[in-house]
Structure 1
Amino acid sequence: MGVKVGVLALQGDVSEHIAAFRQALADRPGSMVIPVRHTEDLAGLDALAIPGGESTTISRLIEKNGLYEPLAEFEGGVFATCAGMVLAADRVDDPRVRTLNLISMHVTRNAFGRQVDSREVLLAVKGLSEPFRAVFIRAPVATEAGPGTEVLARIPEGIVAVRNGRHMAFAFHPELGGDLRLHRMFLEGLGV
């Protein structure tokens, strides 16, 4: 049976997410990955990726496009990366960002500092037998995981990967580098 995944396509690394999910779904006939820009694009989706980008900009564009309530009420799984992790949280350190309250966690934006402080880390992730090469680009961290939120990975700066039900959030960019293990773990957790 095919899986239908949407990628929030308002700002950020949308094409990288579309390509990664298409590759992860290559062995699932009838699957599709589509960009999501309007409320009607959410119809029939099993999952939604909220990509990295600039969280305050994406937050404003969500409001401008009338997507806040539909995204906050989305019943499928959510795969959130970097800025997406900020938006998926229920608490964030920046009042300019209206979070979607999808995952119980407190997130700090730009926890790594400036762009020059971005880096790659071989990261132990719960559920993966081998380390994952995580690319952190002006990344957030979760400083606290609330009830029902399972911590999958952490580094000295804080929590960088979580799961809450069908939702997963990452401070890094699993869509970069060609390693699709986290995409496959997410898809398996959808139950479709």
Structure 2
Amino acid sequence: MIDQSKNALAHRLKTIRKSKGLTLSEVEKRCGVTASTISKIENESISPTYANLLRLVKGLEVDMVDIVSNNKTVNTTKTRRSITYSGKGSEYSVGTHDYRILCNDLSDKKMIPMLATIRAKSINELSSKKSDYLATHDGEEVLYIVSGQVILHTECYTPVTLNPGDCAYIDSTMGHICLKGSKEDAVVFWVCSDNHSLSILEPKIE
């Protein structure tokens, strides 16, 4: 499990909150994430889900890179470029999924590229209730299977098996989750659309 940047993410979130003079309760009202969850994230007890990261970004009016990375380059020209070398990027874990945020030195990106490692093979490893394990957030996303086998579960379609070289494009507001279908962990190149106008269509408090 990747957790070496967990404390850095927690510290950045707490620093951002305090710099804005916000209490945990005020952040809860802004973001739709419970004060207890925010406290646990700041105290490194848990890692935030991607959906909750988006809620925090929107509610705190910051860029994703402000929370997940110390390195940020603001570039308003039309010649933007970012390179992430092998093994680099901001890493964090959410339960049975490990994420490496790529090209994290640029702010105000229209997309968030990630390399995800999927370690869960059964829904039971996530939650006993479908409503709990299907993630929903604003935007769209593309998944390209790098290695291993992935079972893509969505609320509107039957599960589909994806193998290396396969690609899927989905509406992120539709409940979705990926599980591995192979014995070995699956690796996915994952790109989610993102911009400063992101809002969560399901503002349920988690």
TM bucket by the smaller chain? 0.3 to 0.5
Q: What TM-score, normalized by structure 1, do the two folds share?
A: 0.35
Task: Compare relative contact order (CA 8 Å, sep 6+) and give the higher one, 1 or 2.
Answer: 2
Larger radius of gyration: 2
Of Structure 1 and Structure 2, the greater strand share is in: 1
Q: What TM-score, normalized by structure 2, do the two folds share?
A: 0.34
